Amino acid sequence: NRARNQISSLSNFVEQKVLLRARVQTLRAQGTKMVFFLFRQRIDTVQGLLLVEEGKVSKQMAKWAGNIADETIVLIEGTVKQTQEAVQSATVSDVEIHISQLHIIAEPQMKLAFSVPDASRPDGMEDPEKQFKNILLDTRLNNRVIDLRTPTNQAIFKLQAAVSELFRQFLGSNGFTEIHSPKLQGAATESGASVFKVSYFKGSAFLAQSPQLAKQMAIAADFERVYEIGPVFRAEDSNTHRHLTEFIGLDLEMAIEEHYHEVMELLDQLFLHIFKGLRESHRKEIETVGKQYPADEFKWREGPEGTLKLTFAQAVDLLVEDGVERSILDDINTENEKRLGRIVKAKYETDYFIIDKFPMELRPFYTMPDPNDHTVSNSYDFFMRGEEILSGAQRIHEPGLLMEQMRGKGVDPESMKGYVDAFRLGCPPHGGGGIGLERVLMLFLKLNNIRRATMFPRDPKRLEP
Ligand code: ATP
Ligand code: AMO
């Protein structure tokens, strides 16, 4: 019943006995007297050596051990020894284990679709990593459990957890209360076009497209500052690198005193907290991911100048200066969004920026118009590497204006009576935003496909595994 050791801390146990449960990454028998192993725990690997020795390890044991299949989970006992060669990588142990006992805990009963690449190999060596890069994403997603064992994926999902942890941490320490809103709804929560309908006893229900209505109602109910981390469903037939039909929304909503800039400022501080937290506390994971998905380091601005903020009109001007026809810039499409990202990067040296004051007609019914110019709105989007990661706005808290906007956008106020009533009961001025978790991760790490930032992605063509 001894405690098991972790590969990452073995170097504290030189010349001591340890107990290790790990996967067999690879093994190689040398003659009849020696078996070399590479053991893996998540992103870490360590060498093991089984040596035939009178009275300790028999020839039969070495023969048996030499036939263990890759990916078998084993429990080993052995002595930690210093190695001769210097180790370059943070994920490869600089000690090795001389094995005295070895037990099989579980072994694969089926052929592996592909082998987990050996992360202990330095870049440029005979190259299972490179080979692995050529496996189609679909093949990897179809065999997701084995794919998730790769060090890259182990690191990606540690980082995903870190983003939500940092989100929670920041909001918790800024007076926000975590809420859980229903995912089964009587009506669409955003636009009617992209809502999933499900059967609900004798009638039907809709899957929530966002916690939008609930988080605003929580403000009307005096919660002041709320957030939610939860699934969001979108029936968008978008087969792109950045659309999922189910994703994780990081949503928040807060009462404001004077101005929607209070929300924008808080959201900005939140992102800086997330970026810094990832960079400072998760370097090993970021490096691990970078081996498979090389990326230029994500850049943001700090210090007195702060985060770059542009109005929609200024963003359009930048694109026009760069040669885009003004006539097609009523909205900024995906292609021009990316182009803007490149322009901003060249001019301001940042991968992270904010655009506010979007035209009213581009925003949902609950968005507050600018009191001085009703054609624009008190709304904002945040961008990473030229792609949208957050959308938000000040909301309309006055019931008359809300109903007018709903009708103007073809939304029947009667279909959302409980929501509209929240404002009839008196609601403070407020604003908020929604972030796509997988997008933040995809763009921070430059993974180029949102499915790589999703453990079991759902898109129009995929409901399995
Ligand atoms: P939001 O989060 O506000 O929905 P988004 O980034 O998801 O923003 P959408 O408004 O859903 O953006 O769509 C944005 C862009 O995605 C569109 O400009 C369009 O170019 C692109 N897009 C959407 N669906 C497809 C598709 N099926 N194929 C190619 N591009 C698409
Ligand atoms: P919006 O629809 O822009 O706004 O969504 C907010 C953020 O969610 C992410 N996102 C997606 N991620 C993956 N797949 C998708 N299909 C997808 N669609 C959106 C993006 C986007 O910025 N209620 C508002 C938020 C608010 O105003 O508070 C809303 O849902 O990162």
Please indicate whether residue 236 is annotated as part of the active site. yes
d(CA 36, CA 39): 10
Which atom of ligand 1 approaches the CA of 335 most closely?
20
Backbone phi and psi for residue 25, each to the nearest 5 degrees, phi listed first? -70, -55
**pLDDT, position 119:** 63
Residue 25's H or E segment, with its range, is: strand 17-30
Residues 6+ apart with CB under 8 A from 54: none
Q: In 134-282, where does DSSP find H-type helix?
A: 137-142, 144-148, 151-172, 212-220, 261-281
In percent, the amount of the chain with pLDDT more than 70 equals: 96
d(CA 203, CA 431): 34
Among all bound ligands, the one having the nearest atom to the CA of 391 is 2
Backbone phi and psi for residue 370, each to the nearest 5 degrees, phi listed first? -65, 125
For residue 33, count other CB atoms closer than 10 A to its CB: 13
What is the Å distance from ligand 1's center to 145 Cα?
Answer: 30
For residue 465, cis peptide bond before it (omega within 30 degrees of 0): yes
pTM of the model: 0.92
Question: Whose alpha carbon is nearest atom 9 of ligand 2?
Answer: 436
Which atom of ligand 2 approaches the CA of 189 most closely?
23
d(CA 4, CA 25): 19
Q: How confident is the model at residue 133 (pLDDT cuts 50, 70, 90)?
A: low
In percent, the amount of the chain with pLDDT more than 90 equals: 86
**pLDDT, position 191:** 73
Taking residues 24-53, what's their average pLDDT? Answer: 94
Chain center to CA of 199: 31
Q: Is the pLDDT of residue 295 over 60?
A: yes
Q: Determine which of 41-55, 110-124, 208-222 has the lowest per-residue pLDDT on average.
A: 110-124
Contact between 1 and 9 (Cβ < 8 Å): no
Q: Is the pLDDT of residue 117 over 80?
A: no
Among all bound ligands, the one having the nearest atom to the CA of 393 is 2
Decide: 330 in ligand 1 pocket, CB within 6 A: no
Taking residues 104-127, what's their average pLDDT? Answer: 74
> For a substitution probing ligand 2, which of 213, 409, 439 has the most ligand atoms within 8 Å of its CB?
439
Token readout for 82 is: 């210093």
Q: How confident is the model at residue 338 (pLDDT cuts 50, 70, 90)?
A: very high
> For a substitution probing ligand 2, which of 232, 411, 447 has the most ligand atoms within 8 Å of its CB?
232
| Interface TM-score (ipTM) > 0.95 | no
Please indicate whether residue 194 is annotated as part of the active site. no
CB-based pocket (< 6 A), ligand 2 = 190, 210, 212, 234, 236, 243-244, 247, 249, 251, 388-393, 432-436, 438-439, 450
CA atoms within 13 A on the CB side of 413: 16
Report the amino acid identity of residue 43: I
d(CA 129, CA 121): 9
**pLDDT, position 121:** 58
* CA-wise closest residue to 5 among 46, 63, 37, 33: 46
d(CA 198, CA 183): 11
Q: Determine which of 82-96, 245-259, 397-411 has the lowest per-residue pLDDT on average.
A: 82-96
Question: Whose alpha carbon is nearest atom 25 of ligand 1?
Answer: 238
Q: Is 209 helix (H, G, I), strand (E, B) or coil?
A: coil
Q: How confident is the model at residue 120 (pLDDT cuts 50, 70, 90)?
A: low
